[in-house]
Every structure is written in structure tokens, then in C-alpha cells.
A and B are shown apart, each in its own frame.
Chain A
Amino acid sequence: SQELEQSPQSLIVQEGKNLTINCTSSKTLYGLYWYKQKYGEGLIFLMMLQKGGEEKSHEKITAKLDEKKQQSSLHITASQPSHAGIYLCGADMGDFNKFYFGSGTKLNVKP
């Protein structure tokens, strides 16, 4: 959706390299969610951020929400082929019962 801008659109990295994916909104994000989608499958929830400045980590993936709650980043450390897929940010922007998604970042990790 245009409410959420995600970058880059695609990314190819060598195994072992670090990478960052960004998600930006012009509106306040009441909840920012990161999902991963393996090719041809549904979405798997990764992390949720709600407070400005919040940071969460799971294994080698770290997500942050800025203080203004308008931008989030997803950082993968020492990438592995298992990290390959499409990463999408989703957000609750205060529209009752509506949940918005970014356009996705396609990640390939070369062995």
C-alpha cells in the first residue's frame, strides 16, 4: 500500500553478510509488524513493535521502531540461505479494522 513504503524492493547478498530492510510511513504507526513469506507460501509473523524506540531480536534478526513511530528497520546479521524469502512490513495506522502492508522486499542469499 502507498501508506507504507518499503525499501529496497529486492536484495541479493552473499552468505554471511549483514543487511537492512526499511519500512517508512507518513503516518504514526500504532503497531508495526514484520512478516516473512517463503516463495509460494503464506506469511509467517516475525516481530511486532509498538513503542517508539523499541527494539526486538530473534536469533539473527533485529527489528527497530524509531522514536517518532514512523519508520522501522529489519536487520539480519550474518545472513544464511534460510533467510531468503520476501519480507513484508505491516502496520496498524489507526484505521479501525484495517491493516496495511508494504510492498515487500525480496531477499536472496547466495551460498
Chain B
Amino acid sequence: NAGVTQTPKFQVLKTGQSMTLQCAQDMNHEYMSWYRQDPGMGLRLIHYSVGAGITDQGEVPNGYNVSRSTTEDFPLRLLSAAPSQTSVYFCASSSGAGWGEKLFFGSGTQLSVL
């Protein structure tokens, strides 16, 4: 049982480059979300989705795009990377109600933008 799978684990980008962070879950969860973790700031919600075809903004959405074409996948796109986007990114999924208990996290992607 893979749970939530994130790729890549590490990535270095130059300013202005684009890339997609991949997230896939095999638990048939409707709710998926992306967080970034910065020192002293905990986890901040970037975007979330409550089902295929439905996405919405979180706390810090600027500079990121998402789409949800299938229940399993929820990729996060950086169209033009900036140094301020250097962070650790986590994808999470949940079956729905009671978010916290059922939030399953991926192992994270460490992104550096030079």
C-alpha cells in the first residue's frame, strides 16, 4: 500500500524555470492538498482539491498552479520559479470529513531555486 507518493524528492531550479511536482495517492481519497514548509512558519496551504475537476486556493497560492484531472493525481506547477519558492513541499490527502485524522502526507520534495 503506497499511500501518498511524491516525486521528485529533491530538485534544484534556476530562477525562471518551470517544473511540476507530482503527487499521487492510491487510497481513493477525494481531498488532496499541497503545503509548503518554511523554517519557523510551519505548514502553509497552497492549493487544495475536493475532487476531480475541483480546485481552490489556500493561504499562499501565488506562483503555483494545480489541476485535478483524476482522483489519484494532484500535480503542483511552478510556471516561473523564484528564490522565494525555495521550500519543502508536502502533498496530503484525506477521505474527507475530519481532515486532521485522515490527512495522509507524502514524504516531501525539497526544492531549491537559485
A contacts, CB < 8 Å to B: 1, 4, 6, 9, 31-33, 40-45, 48, 88, 90-92, 97-104
In the bound complex, residues from chain A placing their C-beta under 8 Å from that of B56 are 97
Interface size class of B (residues with CB under 8 A): 20 to 34
Per the bound structure, the CA–CA distance linking A100 and B42 in Å amounts to 9
Per the bound structure, the CA–CA distance linking A97 and B30 in Å amounts to 11
Contact yes or no, B100 A45, CB < 8 A: yes
Q: List 15 A-B contacts (CB under 8 A).
A: A33-B103, A41-B108, A42-B4, A43-B90, A44-B105, A48-B100, A48-B101, A90-B100, A91-B100, A92-B98, A92-B99, A92-B100, A99-B103, A100-B45, A103-B42
Among the interface residues A33, A43, A44, which one has the most CB atoms of the partner chain B within 10 A? A43
In the bound complex, residues from chain A placing their C-beta under 8 Å from that of B41 are 1, 103
